[in-house]
Amino acid sequence: MLDRFRQHAIRVLSVVLCLFTLAEVNYPHLTPQSQLATFALLGLALCYLHYPAHPRLKGSRWAGILDLVLALASAVCCGYVAIQNEPVFESWWSGGRSLGDRAGAETGLDFLVGAVGLLLVLEAARRAVGLALPILSVAFLAYGALGPSMPSWLFPHRGYGFERLVGQSFLHSQGVFGVALKVMFTYVFLFVVFGAFLEATGATRFIIDAARRLFGSSAGGPAKVSVLSSGLMGSLSGSAVANTATTGTFTIPLMRSAGFPRHVAAGIEAAASSGGALVPPVMGAGAYMMLELVQPPVTYLRIIQAALLPAILYYLSLFLIVHFRARGLAAEGAAGAREPSDDGAQAEPMSFFQLEGLVFLASLGTLIALLLSGFTVFRSVSLALVVTILVSALRADIRMTPRRILEAFEKAARGGIALVAAAASVGIVIGVVTLTGVGSKLPATIIPLAQDNLFAALCLIMVSSIVLGMGLPSAVCYLLLATLIGPALSGLGVPPLAAHLFIFYFGLMSMVTPPVALAAYTAASISGSRIMRTAFAAFRFALVGFALPFLFVYRPELLMMSADGGPASFAAITAAFAFAAAGIVPFAAAIAGHLWRPLGPVSRLLLFAAALGLFYPASRGSIGALALGWPNLAGAALLAGVLVWERVRRKSTP
């Protein structure tokens, strides 16, 4: 009885959450804080109904009752904030003033609701994304309270009392109901709905099938299917974990049948899924978050132009690693390392004009065309959803019937629960950062370091990004990093968009960085491999993702921009991309440990050195206007030498 009620409640709340978001972002009727409070109300209630306090308590009657109580308490706390800010409920306002107007003069009831609300947000985040984010939020609350006792290296401040912290973090618009939840509400959640609709029509299955037809007969074909399909689907979903769980169900068994070891198959899938949000034009909604956060503002077209070449290089690296690794398996006699098309020689080639492909192209094409035409992000994705429904109506088996629409809403809401809980918890961090001013003190420390040594400053930001990003959804991770580190970016002497893409990349790479590598954990659960072995395999395959941010900061031509942020010349862009792509080849071969034949330690070290030389930014001694220096030429010469040597050894080996 209780389980049945829970399932019905989840279904109803899921549909209400999706309909409320679609309606309110397009035709707003509530005040901004009431919008976010209602959004959080639905998301947190769903979180408590969907995630048990502990997996062992799933199915327990008393735990189920507790979940219902906590869901109701979340609704009460968030509903209180909405009512106390919405003019239609003015007669219910304490003292005749809205919650915002009585800042600094809150009532005891306000503080009680705020304190309970904070605890509920922290518990919801623990259930949805694990302990890392709640611990970080509690640490920042403690920092806000214990400011005077902090050592000098932890940026001491005058400290704030319980009431001020609760007001800042929950009751007003700079904490839980602030920018992090706003971005989830306005941008990210809509793309979760968009991805659920495409999956319901079969468009995402079409991506996988098309990739299988394209690479099915090549060396490492199943792994290449994983790379391509995960990249395309990850751009839409923006969630490395969800992408791994979705595509990995198909691709990991396919790679296993082709002879790839369990941990290798899982590592490839995790690395490919984690890079999905790097792929334009959607970038897992990252492009639209940058529209809000990059200062001075940049256009959508400028963002996707900048993201294009690094994304190509990332997936080129994965394709080459897979290719070289598959050749190694074939050399070792792994059956199936070269797999024919599933449908045999008589299979008809798939066409993008099949209806599933038409749904995908029409939906994505509509989205991009509307964005480039100047439509807002939420209006563009809403109209793209309408196009998805209309085009799918052309065939009965993929038609978005009312029942399928409701099922897609439920799937989208389940996928977005973790985002809502995480964004609310990140709001606590942002509220404390704003209150204490640490957001300006941290840049004051980093910027002088950058003036003396930009590389050291970038390494510090890289480590901060990876540590803070552990265990967080990609979109939430970028929001948190942009808040904490963003003010320092303008002082690094690099174009602001390049700096934001730098932290965006490392936020995504945290998904495959041990010990907290959530995408690798998900892939390991599908493949049945050991978790840490899979995490290190994913880290190794995604290693180029750790090099690319440094590469495009020092060589902004890869972002199609010059050092001052203006457009770069075609010749400079071509030269930068050519040398970077050339560097990917020895980099991938060294990681895979195979070229035409297995590579020894010396050859692998020489290939890494060649890659480093090709990647090296030629800030001095450049050749003409192409910013190419002797390290680039030395790397090219070393690569040529190793290739010739390995070719000769291959021919001489019996």
pLDDT tens digits along 387-427? 999 999 988 888 899 999 999 999 889 888 888 998 899 88
**Are the C-beta atoms of residues 558 and 310 closer than 8 Å to each other?**
yes
d(CA 326, CA 227): 14
Burial class of 59 by CB neighbour count within 10 A (0 to 12, 13 to 18, 19+): exposed
Calpha distance 502→463 (Å, rounded): 12
The answer to whether the beta carbons of residues 101 and 167 sit under 8 Å apart is: no
- Rounded mean pLDDT of 316-344? 65
- Tell which wins on pLDDT, 608 or 461: 608
Q: How far apart are CA 208 and CA 647, in angstroms?
A: 35
Peptide bond into 654 cis (omega under 30): no
Q: Which two three-digit tokens encode residue 210? A: 């098309």
Q: How confident is the model at residue 89 (pLDDT cuts 50, 70, 90)?
A: very high
The predicted structure's pLDDT at residue 489: 66
Find tokens 């979705």 and name the residue.
Answer: 246
479 or 445, which is more confident?
479
Contact between 503 and 462 (Cβ < 8 Å) = no
CA distances (Å), origin 39, targets 84, 381, 611, 623:
15, 18, 48, 56
For every residue of 338-355, DSSP letters joined together read B---TT-TTPPPP-TTSH
Higher pLDDT, 34 or 292: 34
* β-strand partners of 219: 338
Rounded CA-CA distance 155/147 in Å is 8
R_g of the chain computed on alpha carbons? 26
Lowest mean pLDDT among 97-111, 160-174, 386-400, 622-636: 622-636
**Report for 366-375, 439-448, 473-482: range of highest mean pLDDT:** 366-375
C-alpha span between 275 and 374 (Å, rounded): 27
Asked if 355 contacts 198 with a C-beta cutoff of 8 angstroms, the reply is no
**H or E element, residue 90:** none
Q: What single string gives the DSSP state of each residue in 245-282? A: HHHHHHHHHHHHHTT--HHHHHHHHHHHHHTGGGSTTT
When pLDDT is cut at 50, 70 and 90, the band that residue 447 belongs to is low
**Cα 304 to Cα 250: distance, rounded to the nearest angstrom:** 29
If you average pLDDT over each of 30-34, 354-358, 481-485, 529-533, which comes out highest? Answer: 30-34
More confident residue, 159 or 595: 159
pLDDT score of 66? 93
Q: Under DSSP, is residue 561 helix (H, G, I), strand (E, B) or coil?
A: strand
